Structure 1
Amino acid sequence: MNQVTEHGGGVWSLRVPIPDNPLGHTLVHVLDTDRGPVLVDTGWDDPGSWTELIGGLGALGIGIGDVHGVVITHHHPDHHGLSGRVREESGAWIAMHAADTAVVRRTRESDPGTWLDYLARKLAAAGAPEEHLAPLRAARSGGRTGTLPGLGAALPDREIVPGELLDLAGRRLRAVWTPGHTPGHVCLHLEEEHPAGLPGRGRLFSGDHLLPGISPHIGLYEDPDDQTVTDPLGDYLDSLERIGRLGVAEVLPAHQHAFTDSAGRVRELLDHHEERLTGLLALLAVPLTPWQLAERMEWNRPWDRIPYGSRNIAVSEAEAHLRRLVKLGRAEAVAGTEPVTFVAV
């Protein structure tokens, strides 16, 4: 498949591979401005991904030194991974929402062992069995902590402020804060007439918030030092409705492909999560820990075939759904249970 797609009106997308990942690639968008090209996301920090990014830009007649700025939808390594290298090679600025900048700073400053301890504590509290916790403890005691992605992610130079136009010469790109997938996820609304005249209000770089055929992962916001009980799924559903009301002509997501019916896709995702919450209430007819709930939830494959790391993500997603049900008054923690179980009310 062609690596470069032209979307018209000075916008292109480049396919940048994600190594060993079923998603396959990140769509890095290139936006032409009066001060030079600006990238929306950069792709995974991997030599092969870097080669593809350089090649895609080259196909557009852009050298890496020409890049003026980098706008990051969220801090995940398949989006922000190559940002630091782009900045080193070009002098480009990097912009990110403050909530995700805080995640990057915390990750850079914390000892990886501290993160493994935190993860082990969280999973134990969620009811993970000892055989799942043992490899984490072994990695901690053996000092095998250098493989965690994002440890050296670049700190941005600029803050993306929700509701404000980004400082892009000759373009109208407005930041829309869409927490849920991460605390600082932003979509970027290109408030310019669609180049092909499609009806609607411009185009939306949607990152991972709104994808045509995937429901993005909604897990817990990880901050070992913050005791606030957040509600990421509630944040995500609110953000989805906000995006649905924008009425954009076309969505340019960071995975899969561009699509037009944003309001229809928003409705599908809202319905999907409502069905999922209803299904979880049926499971919670008996008290379950978050781990037990994750084991019983429907995933894209049976639980016994879900790899180790993905189980951690699944449990985080189960907890996010539990928090939503508790907040809605549809489930509650069972007093005196250790690890804590939850039951429908």
Structure 2
Amino acid sequence: MTVDDQTFIVTGQVQQQAWRDRVLPPVEQVRPGLWSVPTPFPQSPLRYVLAYLLETPRGPVLVDTGWPSEDAWDGLVAGVRATGHEIGEVSAVLITHGHADHFGLARRIRRESGAPVMIHELEVAASHQFASIAEFRAADRLWLRRRGMPAAEIAALFPDGDGPPEWRDPPDVLLQDGDRPLGDAAAVRALWTPGHTPGHLCFVHEEHNVLLTGDHVLPRISPNISPSPRVRADTLGEYLGSLAAIEDMPVDEVLPAHEYRFRGLGARVRQLQEHHRARLREVIEAVVELDGPTTMAVAERLTWSRPWSESKGIVRRSAVGETYAHLLHLERRGLLTGGAGGEEAGLGQVDAWRPAAEAGVLVEALLR
């Protein structure tokens, strides 16, 4: 373990200042032939998405694209131009995962340049759980009802309107762990890191010894790990496993998709691991104190970055999903019981979480 592994150091200081000032950071060359290209993320507390442009013998390659909006598109086109290239020259698009702020402009780039779009095969499988945005919203309403969210809050979360037009748009290349999407001799390698999504990928640039982490490891926040409304997967367990897999990677710098660049991957991984250990203890304490609480009731008792009363809309939805991921992880470990079933269960079924042992035994089990 190197000194940098033990110390978290912000390297993207211009990006960090832009974050604090709530403005879009500039395009930056972070290594020879490797550029950070920010695009606006409208109406999101994340503010912007950091795409990356790699200069390769085949032409410029983009890692992630941005939200499907005109502002983001204009920002991406201008950002690519600032690197000395045009959007029509893009030769490939690598996608870290299937959230719209990452793949949302991929189809438009492909239309402009003919670039193939590449993503992990499990992201495609996840998108095919639902035939449409309407079907997803119906499943999510039922899921939230089982988590204990009041009907009025659920209704407010789902205004009328269509989702991103790229919903289920098929990629051209399906990736797996260890693939070299730009060719066997190229320096870029795909690294499967499930948790935030089933098929989340990081990309290792072996020549520059940097790790493009997408949403897997961010400098300031922990990525949301809510399970899909149709899957009772232990997403927290998957995420912790993916963190452990990269903890000792001796990379020189981490290039995330939000916020700012940093050094000290190992230090940041350990911060995230401790965050989740503390959250699990907090969840157990809430379940022990309450009498068969719903997931929503547990979420209200937890510590968040803002008061629960100020948590609205998708922020509250994310908090409930995050809480459920921790509860489900504890259930899988045999420490809690009481999670409501999937869609095949009765419509009236709601979570009623209870400890499977005394509180002291539960906490001791977490420490092992």
Which residue type is aligned with residue 45 of structure 1? P
Q: Which runs of 4+ in 1 moved over 6 A?
A: 334-337
Which secondary structure state, in structure 2, belongs to the residue aligned with residue 324 of structure 1? Answer: helix
Separation in 1, partners of 2:136, 2:256:
30
Which secondary structure state, in structure 2, belongs to the residue aligned with residue 245 of structure 1? Answer: coil
2:351 to 321, 340, 344: 340
TM-score normalised according to structure 1 size = 0.88
Deviation at 1:338, TM superposition (A): 4.3
Separation in 2, partners of 1:103, 1:205:
22
Deviation at 1:213, TM superposition (A): 1.1
Corresponding position: 1:152 with 2:167: yes
Separation in 2, partners of 1:135, 1:29:
35
Alignment of structure 1 residues 83-94 onto 2, 5 Å? 83-94=106-117
Corresponding position: 1:331 with 2:350: no
Separation in 1, partners of 2:340, 2:92:
52
1:162 to 171, 177, 183: 177
Deviation at 1:113, TM superposition (A): 2.9
Separation in 2, partners of 1:326, 1:118:
22
Paired residues of 1:284 and 1:342 also in contact (CA < 8 A) = yes
Name the structure 2 match of 1:112. 133
Separation in 2, partners of 1:124, 1:267:
34
**CA 1:311/1:335 → structure 2, altered by over 3 Å: closer, same or farther?**
closer
Matched length: 325
Deviation at 1:339, TM superposition (A): 1.6
C-alpha RMSD of the superposition: 2.1
**CA 1:184/1:160 → structure 2, altered by over 3 Å: closer, same or farther?**
same
Separation in 1, partners of 2:114, 2:340:
55
Name the structure 2 match of 1:255. 258
**CA 1:86/1:132 → structure 2, altered by over 3 Å: closer, same or farther?**
same
Paired residues of 2:328 and 2:339 also in contact (CA < 8 A) = no
TM-score normalised according to structure 2 size = 0.83
Deviation at 1:319, TM superposition (A): 0.9
Separation in 2, partners of 1:150, 1:319:
29
Q: Which stretch has the larger CA shift, 163-172 or 2-11?
A: 163-172
Name the structure 2 match of 1:124. 145
Separation in 2, partners of 1:154, 1:231:
27
1:191 to 181, 206, 215: 206
**CA 1:335/1:30 → structure 2, altered by over 3 Å: closer, same or farther?**
closer
2:303 to 298, 321, 342: 298
Which secondary structure state, in structure 2, belongs to the residue aligned with residue 246 of structure 1? Answer: coil
**CA 1:169/1:239 → structure 2, altered by over 3 Å: closer, same or farther?**
closer
1:268 to 253, 264, 271: 271
Which residue type is aligned with residue 143 of structure 2? K
Which secondary structure state, in structure 1, belongs to the residue aligned with residue 221 of structure 2? Answer: coil
Percentage of identical aligned residues = 38
Separation in 2, partners of 1:136, 1:150:
19
Which secondary structure state, in structure 2, belongs to the residue aligned with residue 37 of structure 1? Answer: strand
Corresponding position: 1:219 with 2:242: no
Which secondary structure state, in structure 2, belongs to the residue aligned with residue 100 of structure 1? Answer: helix
Separation in 1, partners of 2:50, 2:114:
22
1:48 to 52, 57, 71: 71
Paired residues of 2:110 and 2:117 also in contact (CA < 8 A) = yes
Deviation string for 1:245-298 (max 9, x for gaps)? 222121111111111100010011001100110111111112211111112222
Deviation at 1:117, TM superposition (A): 1.9
Q: Give 5+ residue unaligned stretches, structure 2.
A: 1-17, 19-24, 342-347, 358-368
Which secondary structure state, in structure 1, belongs to the residue aligned with residue 260 of structure 2? Answer: coil
Which residue type is aligned with residue 104 of structure 1? S
Name the structure 2 match of 1:230. 233
2:86 to 63, 66, 72: 63
Q: Which stretch has the larger CA shift, 36-45 or 326-335?
A: 326-335
Which residue type is aligned with residue 206 of structure 1? T
Paired residues of 1:116 and 1:136 also in contact (CA < 8 A) = no
Name the structure 2 match of 1:180. 195
Which residue type is aligned with residue 71 of structure 1? L
Paired residues of 1:34 and 1:169 also in contact (CA < 8 A) = no
Deviation string for 1:112-167 (max 9, x for gaps)? 33222211211111111232234468x5xxxx242x33653532100111022223
Paired residues of 1:70 and 1:94 also in contact (CA < 8 A) = yes
Q: Give 5+ residue unaligned stretches, structure 1.
A: 195-201
